[in-house]
Amino acid sequence: MEGHRKSHHSDTVKKNLVTRLNRIEGQIRGIKGLIEKDTYCDDVITQISATQSALNSVAKLLLEGHMKTCVLERIQDGDEEIVDEFMITVQKLMKK
């Protein structure tokens, strides 16, 4: 059943997320290049930290959208199991 679920992202939100992920993909390639060039470790770690922050921003946007659409709809439909699922998702994000 889980494989059939879909998100409810508008085209604008989807474009925003893809743009952010493309930027993150570029940051990852940049980090790889820094390592290949034997760049000072502290500088590489700074770039990794910036990339992690960018990924966290994407996760926050997804989490907000998920809460306002999927979670809200399932609660309104009487499906309270979504709360446990949502809390597990939040716990996964907080471990990072």
Contact 64, 86 (CB under 8 A): no
Range of the domain at 48: 10-95
Tokens of 52: 């992690």
* Residue 5 forms part of a structural domain: no
Inside any domain, residue 1: no
Domain-embedded: residue 55: yes
25 belongs to a structural domain: yes
Contacts 24+ apart (CB under 8 A), 81-84: none
Q: What is the pTM of this model?
A: 0.84
Give the tens place of pLDDT for each residue, 9-52. 888 999 999 999 999 999 999 999 999 999 999 999 999 999 99
Domain count, the chain: 1
Q: Is residue 59 part of a domain?
A: yes
- Residue 2 covered by a domain: no
Query: According to the model, what pLDDT value does residue 1 have?
Result: 44
Backbone angles phi, psi at 48, to 5 degrees: -65, -45
Question: In which band, very low, low, confident or very high, does the pLDDT at 95 lie, cut at 50, 70 and 90?
Answer: confident
Helix (H) or strand (E) holding 26: helix 11-36
CATH of the domain at 53: 1.20.58.1000
- Tell me whether residue 4 is in a domain: no
Q: Which residues contact 31 (CB under 8 A, 6 or more apart)?
A: 44, 47, 48, 51
